[in-house]
């Protein structure tokens, strides 16, 4: 196998990049209307479609341009610079549980031949494929088993990019790497809208559009319920990790969800779209009197107030603790990370039922439950 690797790399490198053989570029026939996602642009040409992924860390720069060409069509001779992807995609390796879940929603898990870190993969079809040996365990996403990737005939990788990160030896394989920067979207429906890109990859465009539109409708209907609420209860999020409290910033998806659920997020002025490291004293000073405290954790059993206090005694100074208004999401027992990128409506429904239970009587929460 090792003697074949250089030859394999040369073949693949020659096949998936357009290089400098371009003539005059064809005219764009249409640009898809993207309503919420800030990170992608889809342009239609006569013989191919391009998907441009914006660099979430450098405004105004492209992270990648993907050129989607039908698998059964000849390669056009006037392509723009970018990575050619033959669609529908085949023999896919998936690094994250989120992207495995997206392909599952599209009915396309049969295209997956390998995954990284399968212990985090809760999708039943993936676990079944692993048990039957149809899907390979490729180890850690930071250093996947490249020889096994070659052995199983990998044609494409879907991964989540990181700032200044690299894919190591996988990049040298020359196969397309789809950099799914959907997790960097700050608007909840923006992240969901990326399913339109994955639908194009799988030749399931109509299904992807219908899934997105159904989620969008449910989300906007829930948001409309809280538009005119007279009182917006205050809320804080998460808890300390080590000595730092990573608080969602004001343009984060959590901050947007809180606002859409009719709550007053006490850290909405924090700049940025991710999370901000804060000292406990800062959080206590600003959030002591919050009406609600919502947090995530991962453990075999649901967390209790006693366990939360044992973890860090000063937590009991928060009003939400003393008034028993702490709600927890045990990500080890519910499919939070697999579902919320495609179903922010599920998460929004939980939030609305917590902050304004009268608006959703009888709602059975999916993720967040009142701590006992």
Half-sphere CA count of 208, side-chain side, radius 13 A: 17
Q: What is the pLDDT of residue 3?
A: 46
SS3 307: helix
Q: Say if residue 46 is exposed, middle or buried (CB neighbours under 10 Å; 0-12, 13-18, 19+).
A: exposed
Nearest to 259 by CA among 293, 239, 235, 238: 235
Q: What is the pLDDT of residue 25?
A: 79
Residue with tokens 């060409």: 69
The CATH code belonging to domain 228-370 is 3.40.50.1980
Q: Which two tokens stand for residue 166?
A: 């690299």
Q: Which two tokens stand for residue 302?
A: 């649901």
The CATH code belonging to domain 2-214 is 3.40.50.1980
Q: Residue 352 above 80 pLDDT? A: yes
Q: Residue 7 above 50 pLDDT? A: no
* Residue ranges per structural domain of the chain: 2-214, 228-370
Sheet holding 264-265, edge to edge: 264-265, 234-237, 292-297, 326-330, 368-370
Q: What is the pLDDT of residues 32-44, one digit of tens each?
A: 999 999 999 999 9
Q: Which two tokens stand for residue 172?
A: 């040298």
pLDDT mean over 147-166: 96
Residue 18: band (very low, low, confident or very high) from pLDDT cuts 50, 70, 90: low
Within 10 A of 240 (CB to CB), how many other CB atoms are there?
17
81 near 65, Cβ under 8 Å? yes
Q: Do the domains spanning 2-214 and 228-370 agree at the CATH topology level?
A: yes
Residue 315: band (very low, low, confident or very high) from pLDDT cuts 50, 70, 90: very high
Nearest to 239 by CA among 182, 180, 296: 296
The pTM is what? 0.91
Q: Residue 21 above 90 pLDDT? A: no
Residue 154: band (very low, low, confident or very high) from pLDDT cuts 50, 70, 90: very high
Q: Residue 16 above 60 pLDDT? A: no
Distance CA 167, CA 39 (A): 20
Q: What is the pLDDT of residues 255-297, one digit of tens each?
A: 999 999 999 999 999 999 999 999 999 999 999 999 999 999 9
Percent of the chain with pLDDT strictly greater than 90: 91
Q: What is the 3-state secondary structure (H, E, C) of 268-283?
A: CCCCCCCEEEECHHHH
């Amino acid at each position: 196998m090792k003697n074949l690797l250089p030859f394999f790399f040369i073949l693949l490198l020659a096949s998936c990049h357009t290089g400098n053989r371009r003539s005059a570029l064809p005219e764009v026939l249409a640009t898809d209307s993207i309503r919420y996602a800030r990170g992608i642009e889809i342009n239609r040409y006569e013989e191919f479609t391009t998907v441009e992924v914006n660099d979430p860390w450098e405004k105004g720069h492209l992270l990648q341009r993907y050129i989607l060409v039908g698998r059964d069509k000849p390669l056009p001779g006037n392509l723009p610079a970018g990575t050619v992807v033959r669609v529908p995609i085949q023999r896919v390796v998936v690094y994250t549980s989120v992207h495995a879940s997206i392909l599952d929603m599209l009915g396309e898990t049969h295209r997956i031949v390998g995954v990284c870190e399968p212990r985090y993969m809760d999708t039943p079809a993936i676990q079944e494929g692993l048990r039957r040996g149809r899907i390979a365990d490729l180890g850690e996403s930071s250093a996947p088993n490249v020889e096994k990737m070659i052995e199983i005939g990998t044609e494409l990788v879907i991964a989540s990019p990181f700032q200044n990160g690299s894919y190591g030896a996988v990049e040298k394989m020359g196969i397309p790497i789809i950099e799914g920067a959907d997790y960097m979207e700050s608007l909840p429906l923006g992240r969901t809208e990326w399913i339109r890109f994955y639908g194009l990859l799988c030749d399931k465009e109509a299904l992807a559009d219908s899934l997105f539109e159904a989620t969008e409708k449910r989300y906007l209907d829930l948001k409309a319920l809280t538009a005119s609420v007279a009182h917006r209860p205050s809320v804080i999020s998460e808890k300390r990790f080590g000595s730092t409290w990573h608080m969602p910033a004001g343009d984060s998806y959590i901050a947007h969800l809180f606002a859409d659920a009719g709550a007053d997020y006490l850290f909405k002025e924090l700049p940025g779209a991710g999370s901000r490291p804060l000292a406990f004293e800062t959080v206590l000073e600003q959030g002591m009197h919050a009406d609600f405290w919502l947090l995530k954790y991962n453990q075999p059993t649901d967390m209790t107030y006693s366990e939360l206090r044992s973890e860090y005694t000063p937590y009991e100074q928060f009003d939400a603790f003393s008034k028993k208004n702490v709600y927890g999401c045990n990500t080890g027992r519910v499919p939070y990370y697999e579902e919320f990128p495609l179903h922010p409506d599920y998460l929004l429904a939980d939030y609305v039922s917590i902050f304004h239970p009268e608006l959703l009587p009888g709602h059975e929460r999916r993720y967040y439950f009142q701590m006992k």
